[in-house]
Structure 1
Amino acid sequence: MSGDRGLLSIDIDQMSDGTPVTYRVLATSRAFQPGYRGGGPVRSLEKILDSCPAHVEVMLVTRDRDLGTSDPYPGLSARWVRRRGALVHYLRVSDVRNWVRLARQLRARRIDLLYVNSLWSLFSQVPVLAAAVGLLPVRSILLAPRGELSPGALRLKAGKKRLFLLFWAPLLKRLRVRWQACSDLEARHIAARFPWARIIVHGQQTSLPDDARPPQDRPDGPLRLVFISRISPMKNLDLALAGLHKVTRPVNFDIFGPLEDQAYWARCQRLMAGMPANVTVRYRGSLPPEQVIRTFGEYDAFLLPTRGENFGHVILESLAASCPLICSDETPWNDLIEAGGGAVVRPLTADAVAAGVERFAALSPTDRRRARDRAAEAFGAWRGQQRFTNLFEEVRLLG
């Protein structure tokens, strides 16, 4: 099947390949390959699964379709497949028989660790509740909130989230859940909401090149800005567009990303329609992951006024493409962004976004090239310091 990245159908009774299993993980996520619209978490999970040692067996349960789409992946619904070292079940959520069959299969196996991605997803809530009432016997639980506890994220639908946590927080405390933070910044966000939380900080979880792509020479002309992220309130595209309304120099701004929220996208379109004559904005659809770094390399800067990033894979991909950033300060990478020739927007307002864009638009072609060189150098320095360890092996050793 096309785009399956090594997926091979397998019968549940043939799950073991003969390697002795000393540690078994059940992971859940609402999105995984061959989809890509889930962004960084999909790539994080891919990296974790692919780096597991042979004695760790991972069973991943995910949806049978990509985020925001109604069409299932061809030939994968309600089936187990082997993906390199992991076993993946593509759940047909609307099929009660699929749920029942899956529950029986999972209950028949010892599960050492339940690993859930998100606080708010049913793919996290259902297995945690099943574990709490004994329907799913697991020894321990690891929860990755994926940036959902940042102040910016909590301000979105704040009332519903507060109400949910009144019930959910005591349950998580009783279960002695461990939390995975992708950065020290996310660890502080978790601790601020749950002072009793046991937190593991596990950083780089994505495949990135060893070296940055060399900067491309380009002629003088309008500043070329790009946005590559999910089109959602969390990524704050509407603020980027509001800032561009206040810019006086020529700017071309291209937008790439899946449309998650139609009402939010309608707001963005209204802002796009009212742009001043010196600003050109185009929406150019979604990008598959393998095209992201190459696309960043075609632009002078990445405009990302995000409300919060727990890790920010796309920020590192931008630097790996020698593309500096104009970014909010709600990420773990403020120092790296500034070292990489970029600008950190403070405070997060349309005026401050406009000031950051004006600064880049005023640069000469030589100075824009220097900024791209600094982005490449910053990525190289960061990349050289990275030492990857597998998350599940780290948790296993903690006991």
Structure 2
Amino acid sequence: MCAAFEPGFRAGGPIRSMVGLLEAISDRVDLSLVTRDRDIGSSEPYPVRSGQWIKRGRSRVFYLDGGSLRQWLRLWRELRSTPFDVLYVNSLLGLPFSILPVLAVRCGLLRVRRVLLAPRGELDRGALRIKAGKKRLFLRCYRPVLRGVDLVWHASSTREADDVRRWLPTARIMVVPNNTALPREPLPAVPPEDGPARLVFISRVHPKKNLQLIITALAAVSIPVTFDIYGPLEDAAYWAGCQRSCRELPPQVRVRYRGEVPLSQVRDTFARYDAFVFPTFGENFGHVIPEALSSSCPVICSAETPWSEVITSGGGAVLTESTPAALAREIVRVAGRNATDRLRAKQAAGAAYARWRAEPRNNANVLDEFRTAADPVSATGVVRP
């Protein structure tokens, strides 16, 4: 179960995780995927047949129109009649594609032996700060439900495993990175263009991604810089505040909103820039970071991701403190490089990604790992309670 899948792209990393999962899964796993028939925030359905199973390689996908009672009933009848070994849920907080399926298992309405739940960063401190009161209340009420099913958590990093353990100390957790959708080789470094340094932000425009901090930091940058913003405007009020801040920037700083980027064009877009600036409040994995590195684009990032070591070895920087002054210093350092040094930093980013990608553990598929573990609590990659 997942709320977003291709051809959608607005949900970012979770879509890429599921695409990679389907493409890399072994022939020993029969996978049926249920997803929404339209992109996040869109009223227009995809150009696919909704309400029917569609073959995709060895797997099949059911694109569901959430407003169609007929489609819900058809899906329910088929799922109810089929026994499943695993229900893989790609969210902790999503209602139709996470909470409802788990409740159905808890009440015996779906015949599922085990539930594998990927919280997708929803339990990290940065995410929990947003609408904190509502989330705390929900999580307090939901914890007994999860304890009533045979549940294993899928964490994409040890950092996310710690987030889960902080909320549920007895949790059983498999740590398997979401790497199957990532490219094998980095793109060659594109020589920088003449003129000011070109910085980029590619992500959802949402408080968690902390775009406002970048704009505030740019106000203290005294040398010419171009900063381009790409991504869906997920939070209109937040974006309005960012726009107000942009209007107060000094003339040497040029900021442009460039719209949304389809997944197929993300790497080529990154390759045109000197650095990706991403002071996120927290990422369980953060697909956009290795995508930038694989495009030979250095990253300036907060310390709230599992990528700090790779970023610093790849011509980028990890902020020791997420303040406008600290970020402004890093932007000035990058923007002050000459063309030769910018190219070297881009080459270092690609090289760091290649080293990381070559590590054997970075090619695992979570469903195959789960299938081969007779007891997931003692399997390789599992963090014990």
Q: Which TM-score tier does this pair reach, normalised by the shorter chain?
A: over 0.9
1:186-335 alignment runs, 5 A limit = 186-335=160-309
Equivalent of residue 91 in structure 1, options 64, 72, 87: 64
1:229 Cα deviation from its structure 2 partner: 0.8
Equivalent pairs: percent with the same residue? 51
Q: How many angstroms apart in 2 are the aligned matches of 1:218 and 1:268?
A: 28
Range moving further from structure 2, 293-302 or 376-385: 376-385
Range moving further from structure 2, 362-371 or 124-133: 362-371
Which residue of the partner structure matches residue 391 of structure 1? Answer: 366
CA RMSD of aligned residues (A): 1.3
1:128 Cα deviation from its structure 2 partner: 0.4
Deviations 1:135-181 (A, max 9, x none): 11210001000011111111111100000011111211221311001
1:396 Cα deviation from its structure 2 partner: 1.7
1:60 Cα deviation from its structure 2 partner: 0.8
1:219 Cα deviation from its structure 2 partner: 4.5
Q: How many angstroms apart in 2 are the aligned matches of 1:238 and 1:206?
A: 31
Equivalent of residue 105 in structure 1, options 57, 62, 78: 78
Corresponding residue SS for 1:119? coil
1:284 Cα deviation from its structure 2 partner: 0.6
Confirm or deny: 8 A CA contact 2:21 2:181 kept in the other structure: no
Q: How many angstroms apart in 2 are the aligned matches of 1:162 and 1:235?
A: 21
Corresponding residue SS for 1:57? coil
Corresponding residue SS for 2:31? strand
Confirm or deny: 8 A CA contact 2:276 2:299 kept in the other structure: yes
Structure 1 residue 66 and structure 2 residue 45: aligned? Answer: no
Confirm or deny: 8 A CA contact 2:206 2:233 kept in the other structure: yes
Corresponding residue SS for 2:27? coil
Corresponding residue SS for 2:30? strand
1:198 Cα deviation from its structure 2 partner: 0.3
Q: How many angstroms apart in 2 are the aligned matches of 1:73 and 1:309?
A: 28
Pair 1:210–1:397, CA change in 2 (3 A) = closer
AA partner of residue 113 (structure 1): V
1:366-381 alignment runs, 5 A limit = 366-381=340-355
How many corresponding residue pairs? 372
Deviations 1:177-227 (A, max 9, x none): 110010111111111111111000001433333322222223442110001
Corresponding residue SS for 1:56? coil
Q: How many angstroms apart in 2 are the aligned matches of 1:88 and 1:239?
A: 39
Q: How many angstroms apart in 2 are the aligned matches of 1:38 and 1:299?
A: 23
1:32 Cα deviation from its structure 2 partner: 0.4
Q: Gaps spanning 5+ residues in structure 2: where? A: 375-385
Pair 1:206–1:55, CA change in 2 (3 A) = closer
Q: Gaps spanning 5+ residues in structure 1: where? A: 1-27
Range moving further from structure 2, 332-341 or 378-387: 378-387
Q: How many angstroms apart in 2 are the aligned matches of 1:220 and 1:46?
A: 37
Confirm or deny: 8 A CA contact 1:182 1:202 kept in the other structure: yes
Confirm or deny: 8 A CA contact 1:43 1:205 kept in the other structure: no
Spell out structure 1 runs of 4+ moving beyond 3 A: none
TM (norm. structure 1) is 0.90
Range moving further from structure 2, 274-283 or 379-388: 379-388
Q: How many angstroms apart in 1 are the aligned matches of 2:360 and 2:287?
A: 14
Confirm or deny: 8 A CA contact 2:20 2:182 kept in the other structure: no
Q: How many angstroms apart in 2 are the aligned matches of 1:238 and 1:180?
A: 31
Q: How many angstroms apart in 1 are the aligned matches of 2:131 and 2:177?
A: 28
Pair 1:75–1:207, CA change in 2 (3 A) = closer
Equivalent of residue 52 in structure 1, options 14, 22, 25: 25
Q: How many angstroms apart in 2 are the aligned matches of 1:344 and 1:86?
A: 39
Confirm or deny: 8 A CA contact 1:322 1:373 kept in the other structure: yes
Which residue of the partner structure matches residue 173 of structure 1? Answer: 147
AA partner of residue 390 (structure 1): N
